[in-house]
Amino acid sequence: MMGEDKGLRAARHGLQYLLTRTGLLTSNVVESGGFIDTAGSGRPDVQIHVTPALVSAEERKSMGRHGVSINPCVLRPTSRGKISLRSGDAADRVVFEANNLTTTEDVQTLVRGLKASRRILRAPSMRELGFTELAPSKDDMVTDDALERYARDAVKTVYHPSGTCKMGKDRMAVVDPELRVIGLERLRVADASIMPTVVSGNTNAPCVMIGERCADFILGLEQAAGQAVTTTRSTTAPQERLSLSQPVR
Ligand SMILES: Cc1cc2nc3c(=O)[nH]c(=O)nc-3n(C[C@H](O)[C@H](O)[C@H](O)COP(=O)(O)OP(=O)(O)OC[C@H]3O[C@@H](n4cnc5c(N)ncnc54)[C@H](O)[C@@H]3O)c2cc1C
């Protein structure tokens, strides 16, 4: 994929897409993915996004080679982020602290996700394609400590911040089960911020569902049971993910 977005090549891909609706531009780049139960708990705890391109540790910086990346992502992080006011001025930007990988559990899950991803890339069928690993290591055997160091160095968000004003009935809830802001009249919140915990996957479709349910609540077409109590803010940290990259020889 490298260089295909530049010059004549880019023009050719654009033309091919316009004329035949085929070719490189029909790709969504994240060509495949999956969910893995790395802890053996019977429920996936890691999602992988696989791209036919090298995704470097540093956001958007090209690694300058062709290759494949597997990005393991912690599905239900236990680390908690925080949003707070910077000042009394409503126009001032809020302070956003992601606090990624602040719990041992999240780090261990990510390390297991890395191991699973490395196993996939070392499968005989992948070996036949002539892969060598660029990161985290060319070696077959890598210690957990080294994987953790890599995880901490390469981790980034997968853009699913949520839960800054969670729905619920407990003292941390900001909106009630019908998404009304507790303690205020005629105000509801309907977006990713009301998720009590981040969903186990991508967040866009759940956000659409939240919006549609809120519309039904307002129209009186649907009711959620329960009554909320107090209003203290909590946050769910964005999901963490990192890159595991291999070039095609
Ligand atoms: C780069 C990126 C890639 C992503 N990829 C995926 C993906 O592949 N799959 C997936 O499922 N999810 C993906 N997500 C996550 C998904 O897009 C979000 O979880 C989802 O859009 C959140 O919906 P929302 O309604 O909570 O917020 P938003 O979609 O952010 O909507 C908030 C809206 O409020 C508007 N707004 C803000 N301030 C004001 C104001 N003061 N007055 C009026 N309007 C205002 C904004 O313009 C915006 O339209 C991605 C997110 C990002 C950033």
In a domain, 125, yes or no: yes
Which pLDDT does position 132 carry in this prediction?
84
The C-alpha angle 45, 111, 125, rounded to 5 degrees, equals 85
The phi, psi pair for 84, rounded to 5°, reads -140, 165
Ligand 1 atom 50 nearest Cα: 159
Spatial separation of the C-alpha atoms in residues 1 and 153, rounded to whole Å: 25
Structure confidence at residue 58 (pLDDT): 58
State the distance from the centre of ligand 1 to the C-alpha of 183, rounded, in angstroms: 26
66 is catalytic: no
pTM for the full predicted model: 0.82
DSSP symbols for 73-110: EESS-----EEE-SSS-TTSPPEEE--TT-SHHHHHHH
Kindly list the protein residues whose Cβ atom lies closer than 6 A to any atom of ligand 1. Answer: 159-160, 191-192, 202-205, 207
The answer to whether position 57 is within a domain reads: yes
Q: What are phi and psi of 50, to 5 degrees?
A: -115, 130
Q: What are the mean pLDDT values of the chain's consecutive 10-residue runs (249 residues total)?
A: 82 95 91 95 96 73 81 94 93 93 97 96 90 88 96 89 93 96 97 96 97 96 59 42 41
Within the chain, where are the H helices? 7-20, 104-121, 124-127, 144-154, 204-219
**What's the CATH code of the domain at 45?**
3.30.410.40
Ligand 1 atom closest to 205 (CA): 11
pLDDT at 59: 59
Nearest to 68 by CA among 17, 139, 123, 141: 123
Number of domains in the chain: 1
Name the H helices within 6-66: 7-20
pLDDT score of 25:
92
Rounded-to-integer distance, Cα 147 and Cα 208, Å:
36
- On the CB side of 70, how many CA atoms lie within 13 Å of its CA? 26
CA distance 174 to 164: 9
48, containing H or E segment: strand 46-51
Identify the domain containing residue 53 by its residue range. 31-77+102-160+240-247
Assigned domain for 174 exists = no
Ligand 1: centre distance to CA 7 (Å): 32
Domain-located, residue 56: yes
Q: Whose CA is nearest to atom 1 of ligand 1?
A: 159
* 215 located within any domain: no
Question: Quick check: is 50 in a domain?
Answer: yes
> Is 127 among the domain residues?
yes
Distance 160 CA to ligand 1 centre (A): 9
User: Is 145 within the bounds of a domain?
Assistant: yes
The Cα 180–Cα 118 span in angstroms is: 45
